[in-house]
Chains A and B, each alone.
Chain A
Amino acid sequence: MSRSRSNRTSLIAGLIMFTPYLVLLVAFGIVPIVVAAATSFEPSIINPGGGPLNYLVALQDFRFLPALINVGIFLAIYVPAMLIVVALMSLLLDTVQGRWNLPLRLAYLVPASLTGATAVLVWYFLLEPTLSPYQDALAALGITQGTQIWTAPNLAWIFVLMAFFTGAGNWIVVQYGSLQSIPDDILEAARIDGANAVQIAWQIKLPLIRKYLVYMGILVFAAGLQVFVEPQLISASVYPGLASNWSLNQLSYTLAFQQNNLGGAAALSLMLLLVCMIAAIFVIFRTDFFDGIGVKRK
């Protein structure tokens, strides 16, 4: 069997496997981006001429900078918290083998059954001093009124709490899966060399799942940058408007639907996409993300 024939066979197989994804990518990824790009040049009340000026107008909106700062603070808390806690918890989970492992994995998944919308309600009740089951604990911290909780400086922390508890459990189980992929002989060798559990976790396991953590970091960053549900829903409840236009995606939504400015909304969305892509590319190429997955030829 010639080398070229085997190459062609693998190319065809690759194409067959890639095609379903390509179709979805084009239909729900590329096409919306193209449509958004075309939309981003449309005229609006604030910029009747339309065109590339829409991008500048969106950046100059008086709500843009506060929203950027809000999301920046949110990301600065959310992404490290996710990475550290998820890495730690999955390493711990990995050390608990035997009968407790399965129930534990299940327990981590339970909070993820709360979607963003439900989490808003749950956290409202948990944090509202009058209704909370932990009102004594809140009172011990000097918090007796809802207005002490629901203020602008606290919002980033509250939204991190909501997002963290709905997302962390899933990722713990996923990273546990990546820990399972570490060959036993490596761990066995480490043990024979006298490494203790902490050393194995820190010096063997963690480096080996690093690329999965990088992958998680990219997705968590992208999701966090687009935070929308939590501030949007909290603004529609007891404290109306409390976090309106709090995040960049909310601002985009407002531009589109309250100001008849779809051009500005599309421009802002595309800029967010660009930031996500740059961040992803940076992280991927500054780490050994693709090493050993068959992309780089040895």
Chain B
Amino acid sequence: MKRLSVAIVAVAAVTISLAGCTNAAPTVDPDAKPSLLFWVDTPRVPQAEAYQELMADEIDITIEVIAQADAQTKITLANRAGQGWPDIIFGTAADTAQFLDPSNGFAADLTDVVSQDIFDGFGEGNSDCLFDGTYYCLKNDLANGVLWYNTVIFDELGLTVPTTMDEFAATALQLEGTGYSAGAVGDQGYYSMYLQSSECPLADVTAPNVVRIAPGDPKCTRVAELVQPLLDAGVLDSRSSFDAGFIADVAKQNLVAMTLGPSWFGDFVIRPEESWGVPAGQIAAANMPSWGTGDDDRSGAWGGGVFTVSSNSLYPQLAADAAVWMTTSDVMAQLETTPTFPAYGPANKLWEARISTDPYYASNPYPAMAAGANKISQVDRPVRFAFVAQIGTVLQAAINGGASLETALNDYAVSLQNLAPASGYQIETE
């Protein structure tokens, strides 16, 4: 018994001494050189280093590489520790949705630290970062859908490029029996390229902390009605565009006649030798086919990162300036290593100059990318629950496993309806 009490005292002593370690709030020395900490993923390192060099005389910038998937984890840990936050962080808009919630509190309101000119320059490009009328992040790049097609195969079969989804389906059915494919839908592509462009409400934030998840909406059901026959006919593949089997059997055999895909598909999926390896001079991009007319002509997006500024930064203005530079600078737009479609209009123009003359493409893919960029559906919004991860867990798994698209979507929606309340949302299902 005595030993037990000794142990309890020892535990209490250690606990108290640990609790005593909490740091007092740091203060800024006005004479000291300011310092900023960047957390970025690997593709963003070159632009971060460019800024580090540019500001070397004025700011000490430290760059730390993190995996994009770890952003929420690392911020939560910093919140827990009460220190160690980065001044700016690269992640997804869903991360920002999490960071701006009072239960997290990391994301800074950018209204007063970023000029209106910058927001204007983004146009629609920064919509993901607008939460209930306030900007909480700056969009780095856009990943809207376009129709990638193989001009050689289209010429061979005498096909015309579809401009509506009905035409897309008709064109796809013309591939039946030819051995050619209209792409794969067993991954996030089915959500981003098909469901989201159709504006199927799966993360439709109708009021703060209220989300509408309604797989029975006509804008959802029409997708399965259009796509299921293509799957059944075998012209669409139920595997993923990244599936080793699909790549070996179809993509590497250069049998993909067309596929809906995000703007980065060309450079990162279709082109690389270790991926699909489609030869130069064959691939072109056309506008995302429209579901209907007028407002019913939207695109979806697969990816696209944002920079979020810390509300704990000792230098809020410098941190915001850094985020602005990272997303808008000319240098960023022209760096050879800048991989994807910049969200900021003026920077985007410079990037255009690079991609539009790329000899890999049969024709300039930029106009199609640009056309879709301002049409990204805003029905589904970045939310705090694991919307994208759940695509893999339920939607992709069901499609890969041979379930009907209707069942796959319903299962996915039910899982979201279960998930959302755990993150503090009320749900609407109709």
Contacts and interface: CB of A to CB of B under 8 A. Distances in A.
B222 to A, nearest CB: 26
Contact of A62 (B247, B384, B418): B418
B293 interface: no
A147 B400 contact: yes
A111 interface: no
A208 to B, nearest CB: 33
Q: Which of A27, A245, A257 has the most CB of B within 10 A?
A: A257
Contact of B14 (A26, A147, A259): A26
A17 B80 CA distance: 36
A146 B423 contact: no
A178 B243 CA distance: 46
A258 B72 contact: yes
Interface stretch (B117-125, B171-179, B196-204, B390-398): B390-398
A86 B145 CA distance: 53
Interface residues of A, number: 41
Contact of B397 (A131, A151, A258, A260): A151
A242 B392 contact: yes
A16 interface: no
Contact of B401 (A129, A151, A243, A260): A151
A117 B356 CA distance: 41
B392 A258 contact: no
B139 interface: no
A152 interface: yes
B386 A260 contact: no
B72 A257 contact: yes
B396 A260 contact: no
B248 interface: yes
A121 B393 CA distance: 19
Interface in A119-158: 128-131, 144-147, 150-152
A199 B384 CA distance: 62
B386 A258 contact: yes
Contacts of B77: 257
B76 interface: yes
A89 B401 CA distance: 38
A130 B245 CA distance: 6
Interface in B385-430: 385-386, 388-393, 396-397, 400-401, 418-419, 421-424
A256 B422 contact: no
Contacts of B11: 26, 30-31, 34
Contacts of B401: 147, 151-152
Nearest to A145: B245
Given A44-B103, A147-B243, A147-B401, A241 B396 contact: yes
A130 B248 contact: yes
A145 to B, nearest CB: 5
Nearest to A264: B422
Contact of A257 (B76, B186, B243): B76
A287 to B, nearest CB: 26
A236 B70 CA distance: 11
Contact of B422 (A46, A147, A242): A46
B5 interface: no
Contacts of A44: 103
B104 interface: yes
Contact of A26 (B10, B73, B242): B10
Nearest to B399: A147
A257 B15 contact: no
Contacts of B242: 238
Contacts of A145: 239, 243, 245
Contact of B188 (A151, A235, A240, A244): A240
B386 A244 contact: yes
A222 interface: no
Nearest to A238: B242
A151 B247 CA distance: 19
Nearest to A61: B422
B69 A236 contact: yes
Interface in A26-85: 26-27, 30-31, 34-35, 44-46, 61-63
B81 to A, nearest CB: 12
B244 A238 contact: yes
7 contacts: A46-B421, A130-B247, A147-B186, A152-B397, A236-B69, A243-B393, A258-B423
Interface of A: 26-27, 30-31, 34-35, 44-46, 61-63, 128-131, 144-147, 150-152, 235-236, 238-245, 254, 256-262
Instruction: List 7 tightest A-B contacts by C-beta distance, closest first.
Output: A241-B392, A45-B424, A130-B244, A240-B392, A257-B73, A241-B393, A147-B400
Given A31-B14, A240-B187, 17 more contacts: A26-B7, A26-B10, A27-B14, A34-B11, A61-B422, A130-B244, A130-B247, A144-B245, A235-B392, A240-B188, A241-B392, A244-B393, A258-B98, A259-B384, A259-B423, A260-B98, A260-B104
